Structure 1
Amino acid sequence: MLQEGSTQLLCLTAGSGVPLFVRGGSRQLPFSVIGSLNGVHMFGGGQGALLSSCETEDGGRVVWRVFQDSVMLIAVCCRGHGGSCSSRMMQMRLQRLLENVWSCMVLVLGQDELLNVRNVERLKKELRSCFGLIDQLIEERQEGIMGNLTHCADSLLPSNPSPLQEAVDGFAEAADSEFGCLIVHGRIVTATEKWWRLAPAEIVLLSALVRSLSASGSTSCDYPVFLPQGSPTVAHRLLRFQLLPRADMCVLCGPTPPLHRAEAELLSRFWLPLVDTLRDCLDVGERCFPGSVPLRPDVLALLLINRETRRSVSCVQSSSYALPKARRWELLKLFYIFTVSHYFPQEEGSEESDQKDGAADFLLGFSHQPQQCYLVTDECKSYGLQTPQHQLYLLVLPSVPTYALRTIATQTLSEIHAATKF
């Protein structure tokens, strides 16, 4: 019933099974199918069995998750999403999607609105304000944004970060806030210390929300948000200001300052002297690295995670190799999912217990914790490298000798770290 490779998300009340919304997919699943998916989960619960996922006859997958005994989310994915995505990999991807969607609903509406449902029709209307962000999570619209999967902050490394850091710290302090962040091309350039202390999933979702608000075309906005882990019941104000197209300054604050005062008094004070620095930062673009960082020409794409700071950078290199840019991003995501579902631990454990147990059971077959792995396909060769501080996921040309993958990965990691201290 779904187009091949598409994902559809269903949201229902956990107790009565009343549908709240359906997102994704070119055609909505019939009500009878939605009722059956809810009914089989309820039947399992009545028999003392927790139904968390199943595989369909054609290789698709259905994943269920109940949050706070209030809301049930169901993800339905047809075979073909990502092409070679295995059953375990698809399950991990969908489980992370459900976690993100629940956190998105809390971020926009607050936990109380979702736990104390007094009027279902009113809740349906309020949930519409989440649709833009939820659709972004389902469709993974922006290439190069990996935080939805990794729960690491997608970052961009400027060539001259010091003045930008000083401006962010000063702007946040002048706005009576300890939480400030500069986002360029949808990625975090620099932020205050307290911003980095937010839960990784909160940083990822706030960045996604800023991308959504920026795409609306407004130059500034005052948006109430709840922090899913830090403050799920008390709202904060998210002030967002467009410094240049695709460059935004954000702060989380209380009742003060008014948006118009911050816009009139603080923007020019802190950011007008740094217009050229911001333009240089924009010029880094989706490569995410300054030009001083050398990358080998046989590297097609890479994802580098700093395990200590919970930040990541990713890029796709231009080359004459006939593999489209979009496909390279998809292969990079698939290799990350493959690696963390088989060999490397996720940096932030999923709350889904059967996912953790499944990975743990798989790793029991090893006498050690794997530190490196590789995968050879017709399209490219992939290599994963794990150190105490980093995880590196690398796609290279298929013509590169397999025995050279380890050397290329270790050299790439060493050169990036030496040039950026990331």
Structure 2
Amino acid sequence: MMFQEGSIQLVCLTASSGVPLFTRGASRQLPFSIIGSLNGVHMFGSGQGVTLSSCETEGGGRVVWRVFQDSVMLIAVNASQQAGQGVESSGQGVESSKGERLHLQRLLENVWNCMVMVLGQDELVNAKNLERLKRDLRSCFSLVDELLEERRPGILGHLTHCADCLLPPQPVPLQEAVQSFAKAADSEFGCLLIHGRVAAATEMWWRLAPQEIVLLSAVMRALSDSGAASCDYPVFLPQGSPTVAHRLLRFQLLPGADVCVLCGPTPSLHGAESTLVGRFWSPLVDNLRDCLAIGERCLPSSVTLRPDVLALLLINRENHRSVSCMPAPSCAYPQRDPPSPSEARCWELLKRFYIFCMTRYFKQEEAEGTTEEEGGTHQGNTEDFVNGFSHQPLKCYVITDECKSFALQTPQHQLFLLTPLTAPTFALNTIAAQTLSSIIAATGF
């Protein structure tokens, strides 16, 4: 098994007194006595000069703790499915444990950043009225639930800490429109989202921390799901501006296509909607429809993928952007024996394969501002392999009873792809190299 996963429950408490602020996740909540015990054992360790960050239960589950700004403690509890699957080999158990720990650590960091983005750091760190804080935290629940439930399986930015992108067929007109629209709105930060993925953005938008771009995209998706044609929403930037709010103006151009800007007191929502949206975006309706037609493929038709690619994740290591792709059914073999995994299962396997590689072989360059704690954790995940070797692994493959997976790493890119079992193992390297070359040649990604 590359990675086992069960139902995750999230608990948020005050770090000093252990007062529960909220719980989200599994339908069956943890009893208060267990929550108190989880908090108590962490406090006991702190009193002895020990930081308890993670532990594994007898049943194969895992608990991860994290304290933020000495004010809020987040605890993730994963009731792993391993408990009912019999005994695994010790090697498989260790591998699964590493992947699960990385997954939960990323989850806690994302949840904290989500809370800061919605409420601001001051309200979380200097809370005077806990009952009011509990009420205010409800405004974070939709984003927290999206992180926990992973409702959009093709969106992987919460795990990779890279912006989920869609590569449009004609990027230049869209890029120019975003820049002009943002400038007219007295902003340097503008972004166009197609199907919840970044299709074009201003230079200053890309200079935001990757985790901020990921969470802003999540906020945009949540606002789009609300059905409102436009929104004026205050947001804090967890790394760039955790104490001063900005206005996020978001406008729906077409169903599935949204544009936003981060700005100050001006312009008004009504003024921008009535004078700017039509002026800059009406001439590009056909371009937007072409982007929407790409769908989950996220790549323009100029990119020719081999028919034996089930799913792929391509990461640009230099600018922290990613493209995850599920080729259209017409691109795949009509029938296979054995049959290929379903679309939902392919996304799940791709995510697990990414975790498998990143916790054992590959290195992820964290963006500036990432905590030392997480960086140290990642080093601990990979040091078992790296110690004693003078090189970094460049390729990795795994064969399971569902598919074959192959990953390669270059100085600029990381590519993870799934192929059917019928693909020859000796050809996996060629398939990956051709796929990477095809995407880069057609899009310059």
Q: Per the shorter chain, which TM-score range?
A: over 0.9
Runs ≥4 in structure 1, deviation > 2 angstroms?
A: 317-322, 349-354
- Output the CA distance in 2 between the equivalents of 1:244 and 1:331: 32
Following superposition of structure 1 onto structure 2, how do residues 134-213 of structure 1 map, counting pairs within 5 Å?
Answer: 134-213=144-223
Give 1:360 shift.
4.6
Provide the residue aligned with 2:238 in structure 1.
228
Provide the residue aligned with 1:80 in structure 2.
81
- Output the CA distance in 1 between the equivalents of 2:378 and 2:435: 30
- Output the CA distance in 1 between the equivalents of 2:96 and 2:265: 48
Are 1:412 and 2:418 matched, yes or no? no
- Output the CA distance in 2 between the equivalents of 1:342 and 1:59: 20
**1:303 counterpart SS class:** strand
Could you tell me whether the CA contact under 8 Å between 2:163 and 2:320 is conserved in 1?
A: yes
Provide the residue aligned with 1:279 in structure 2.
289
**1:342 counterpart SS class:** coil
- Output the CA distance in 2 between the equivalents of 1:76 and 1:404: 40
Provide the residue aligned with 1:355 in structure 2.
377
Provide the residue aligned with 1:385 in structure 2.
408
- Output the CA distance in 2 between the equivalents of 1:179 and 1:206: 12
Provide the residue aligned with 1:20 in structure 2.
21
**1:312 counterpart SS class:** strand
- Output the CA distance in 1 between the equivalents of 2:134 and 2:322: 35
Look up the equivalent residue of 2:290 and give its one-letter code. Answer: D
Look up the equivalent residue of 1:11 and give its one-letter code. Answer: C
1:215 to 225, 229, 254: 225
Give 1:361 shift.
2.4
Q: TM-score scaled to structure 1, two decimals?
A: 0.97
Provide the residue aligned with 1:100 in structure 2.
110
Provide the residue aligned with 2:88 in structure 1.
none
Pairs aligned (count):
418
- Output the CA distance in 1 between the equivalents of 2:163 and 2:26: 28
Structure 1 unmatched ranges of 5 or more: none
Following superposition of structure 1 onto structure 2, how do residues 51-70 of structure 1 map, counting pairs within 5 Å?
Answer: 51-70=52-71
Look up the equivalent residue of 1:88 and give its one-letter code. Answer: K
Following superposition of structure 1 onto structure 2, how do residues 234-249 of structure 1 map, counting pairs within 5 Å?
Answer: 234-249=244-259
Provide the residue aligned with 1:374 in structure 2.
397
**2:359 counterpart SS class:** helix
The CA RMSD measured in Å over matched residues stands at 1.4
**1:32 counterpart SS class:** helix
Could you tell me whether the CA contact under 8 Å between 2:317 and 2:413 is conserved in 1?
A: yes
- Output the CA distance in 2 between the equivalents of 1:409 and 1:389: 15
**2:314 counterpart SS class:** strand
Could you tell me whether the CA contact under 8 Å between 2:167 and 2:300 is conserved in 1?
A: yes
- Output the CA distance in 2 between the equivalents of 1:382 and 1:361: 23
Could you tell me whether the CA contact under 8 Å between 2:98 and 2:381 is conserved in 1?
A: no
Provide the residue aligned with 1:33 in structure 2.
34
**1:243 counterpart SS class:** strand
Are 1:322 and 2:340 matched, yes or no? yes
Could you tell me whether the CA contact under 8 Å between 2:340 and 2:420 is conserved in 1?
A: no
**2:310 counterpart SS class:** strand
Larger mean CA deviation between 191-200 and 305-314 belongs to: 305-314
Are 1:397 and 2:397 matched, yes or no? no
1:256 to 266, 272, 279: 266
- Output the CA distance in 2 between the equivalents of 1:330 and 1:287: 16
Larger mean CA deviation between 394-403 and 251-260 belongs to: 394-403
**1:86 counterpart SS class:** helix
- Output the CA distance in 2 between the equivalents of 1:365 and 1:379: 33
- Output the CA distance in 2 between the equivalents of 1:9 and 1:331: 23
Q: Deviations over 1:43-79 (max 9, x none)?
A: 1111111110000111110000000000000000011
Q: Deviations over 1:201-236 (max 9, x none)?
A: 000000001001100111100000000000000000
- Output the CA distance in 2 between the equivalents of 1:59 and 1:38: 20
Q: Deviations over 1:236-295 (max 9, x none)?
A: 000000000010000000000000000000011000111111001100111000111111
- Output the CA distance in 1 between the equivalents of 2:237 and 2:160: 19
**1:157 counterpart SS class:** coil
Following superposition of structure 1 onto structure 2, how do residues 295-306 of structure 1 map, counting pairs within 5 Å?
Answer: 295-306=305-316
- Output the CA distance in 2 between the equivalents of 1:305 and 1:98: 22
Give 1:399 shift.
1.5
Larger mean CA deviation between 175-184 and 283-292 belongs to: 283-292
- Output the CA distance in 2 between the equivalents of 1:385 and 1:107: 34
Q: Deviations over 1:142-195 (max 9, x none)?
A: 121010001111000111011101110000000000000000000000000000
Look up the equivalent residue of 2:73 and give its one-letter code. Answer: M
**2:81 counterpart SS class:** coil
- Output the CA distance in 2 between the equivalents of 1:56 and 1:305: 34
1:364 to 363, 382, 387: 387
2:353 to 335, 341, 344: 335
